[in-house]
A and B are shown apart, each in its own frame.
Chain A
């Protein structure tokens, strides 16, 4: 069975440009997470979806970040405009149910570099 798929793996853009990341979760997983990970730090939750609904987006900087999960499957995370401080790895994960105790399956991440 395929794991969580993310694309692109790497992205280099200039500041003020828009960028989008795509995630395809494991089939049948209702919960999808987007995390941001800075070098030397653990993943930080940006948003969590249960099916199509964003149930926790309190950490998402809504002035420049947006996310969607149409039809409750694939998801896209967008940044517009990107800033230098957005350089990080963006991880997508999915799980069958929601909860810290539910096993999350992570994708390889997208490494974003903003110049």
Chain B
């Protein structure tokens, strides 16, 4: 399973765009990149997933360069309610070999007024 590296924490202000980068130098050909969000006292929640280039949904965008060794989660115009921990996971989609699911320590995003 590809090891990921994220910043421990980030600060932002309401209305700004926030970009959280995840490094995954050992990503395998069949690995996907998945991001989860976790609020205090709740379980993680799926945000977005991608394999290459750009993926966008109603919540966020995910940018993946051609070499796929990193990815960037982009949150447009953050609000106070976006304050949470964000996790980047890399691994095979729909089964594949048994691998450990590694969330790591994630990135704590703190949004201020």
**Interface set of A (CB-CB < 8 Å, partner B):** 4, 33, 40-45, 48, 55-56, 58-59, 91, 93, 97-109
Contacts and interface: CB of A to CB of B under 8 A. Distances in A.
A108 B98 CA distance: 25
A46 to B, nearest CB: 10
Given A42-B104, A100-B34, 20 more contacts: A42-B105, A45-B102, A48-B101, A58-B100, A91-B44, A93-B43, A99-B94, A100-B32, A100-B90, A100-B92, A100-B101, A101-B31, A101-B49, A101-B92, A101-B93, A103-B49, A104-B36, A106-B45, A108-B41, A109-B43
Nearest to B44: A106
Interface residues of B, number: 31
Interface in B61-106: 85, 87, 89-96, 98-106
Contacts of B49: 101, 103
A102 B89 CA distance: 11
A101 B101 CA distance: 10
Contacts of A108: 41-43
7 contacts: A42-B103, A42-B106, A43-B103, A45-B102, A100-B89, A103-B34, A106-B42
A101 B43 contact: no
